Amino acid sequence: MAISTFDLFTVGIGPSSSHTVGPMRAALQFVEALADTGRMTEVTRVQAEMYGSLGATGKGHGTAKAVLLGFEGDQPESVDVPSIAERIAAIREGGFITLLGSLSDGHRIGFNDKTDVLLHRKKTLSFHSNGMIFTAFNSGGEVVSRKTYFSVGGGFVVDESAAEQDYLVEDTSAIPYPFDSGSQLLDLCERHGMSISQLMMENEKTWRSEQQVREELLNLWSVMQSCVANGMSNGGILPGGLKVRRRAKELHEKLLSRPEAAMSDPLSVLDWVTLYALAVNEENAAGGRVVTAPTNGAAGIIPAVLHYYMRFVPTATAEGVVRFLLTAAAIGTLYKLNASISGAEVGCQGEVGSACSMAAGALAEVMGGTPAQVENAAEIGMEHNLGLTCDPIGGLVQVPCIERNAMGSVKAIHAARIALRGDGDHFVSLDKVIKTMRKTGQDMHVRYKETSRGGLATHVLEVPVNIVEC
């Protein structure tokens, strides 16, 4: 399968790429299919059923909200975030939903919040933990359409037909430099005298002109910057019921009040990296607009490391941002093809671990690293995240997720620096560590894979918390 940089990096909303973005896209696909077949006017009721991790933690991840927005025709990239709460309240209180209403006049039908969106906490579909079934009924209660979808991480959605085969077969475009392993990627770079970012740019030109690629990548960077700025401006308590206090705004104010710290404390740079990551993931937890990179749960790492590059690396340029994102995407492609970026499938090693690896390799490239050093940095970034569990307290993307992005960002910078001090020769290859990550995820007990049934999720709170939908 040919995976584009813009498959791995997309603009969406929080708090989760697999539990919010994916279900919204799936719901939209379902109603668009109804419209395309001319059967939408027959429909008097739609029902969404969430299974596995979607059912277990869907309440804290805002899954039901995302499905309703998808039914109404919204997309994660363009939905008006400030209006979401009011719109969802109107649907639930009014008892009506307008299919594709955001795109046209739509088709208005009744809606019952208790029966039309069901979260099955202990039932799982066979293909993937993030499964969902949408059913449309006519006035006689007969099924007009029923489809199964899976949210397989990073906002990627596949239907049952793709799940029966290899779900990574959607795009068969003939790219000039195909690769599905780190060793192949390094071999291509050596044979053609290219850096990893140059090779990825040539592949991206399969779908877009070079100018379009650059413009769209810089637009993603702009969204990342806006997300950080919003996170540093917004304070208060995060939604959901845990009463987690937002810290980025206060930390930003403290750092601005002590500029001399940068002179006396060389590690103060890490405080800024921490700030950038916290800002993004607090925005994500609050349902704000973020760049899925490659998931929402790990969305703070690449922006934080990019901010580090732009602010603290003297040679940083806008061209470096383009190269950074292209390199990160090349590494992310390997995880998508050969393992997983879904916390529900392989634990947080697939989210924070993959993002850390991507950021480490990308930073090594823009700081002058060879392809071998880039591969080494990416390997280090994952090797020291192996076995990382996904155990969000209350099913919310808050604890430990927000701080974990800060730790992953610092680890990525450290991994790049270790690799750049070497010559690219190292003992464990990126391919071996990706294979190990996948096997570790397969061996990991389901309670540690985004179900909130183990780990910190069950050993921190002494009394249950009434979790409300984000």
Q: pLDDT of 401-423, one tens digit each?
A: 999 999 999 999 999 999 999 99
Q: Helices 401-420 and 371-383 sit at what angle, rounded to 10 degrees?
A: 140
CATH 3.30.1330.90 fits 5-162, yes or no: yes
Would you call 2 exposed, middle or buried from its count of C-beta atoms within 10 A (0-12, 13-18, 19+)?
A: middle
Q: Residue 315 is which amino acid? A: T
pTM (predicted TM-score)? 0.93
Closest CA to 13 of 390, 308, 392, 397: 397
Closest CA to 376 of 336, 425, 414, 332: 425
- Output the pLDDT for position 195: 98
Mean pLDDT lowest for which of 160-169, 192-201, 324-333, 336-345? Answer: 160-169
Distances (CA, A) of 291 to 122, 205, 249, 294, 356: 31, 22, 20, 8, 15
Instruction: Give yes or no for a contact between 355 and 415, defined as CB atoms under 8 angstroms apart.
Output: no
Q: List where CATH 3.30.1330.90 sits in the chain.
A: 5-162
Average pLDDT, the chain: 94
Phi-psi label, residue 303: left if phi above 0, alpha if psi -120 to 50, beta otherwise: alpha
- Output the pLDDT for position 169: 46
Structure tokens at 116: 């039309």
Q: What percent of the chain has pLDDT over 90?
A: 86
Q: pLDDT of 312-322, one tens digit each?
A: 999 999 999 99
Instruction: Give yes or no for a contact between 467 and 60, defined as CB atoms under 8 angstroms apart.
Output: yes
Instruction: Give yes or no for a contact between 355 and 295, defined as CB atoms under 8 angstroms apart.
Output: yes
Q: Which long-range contacts (CB under 8 A, 24 or more apart) does 106-110 make?
A: 106/72, 106/73, 107/40, 107/41, 107/43, 109/43, 109/44, 109/45, 109/46, 110/44, 110/45
| Spatial separation of the C-alpha atoms in residues 358 and 377, rounded to whole Å | 9
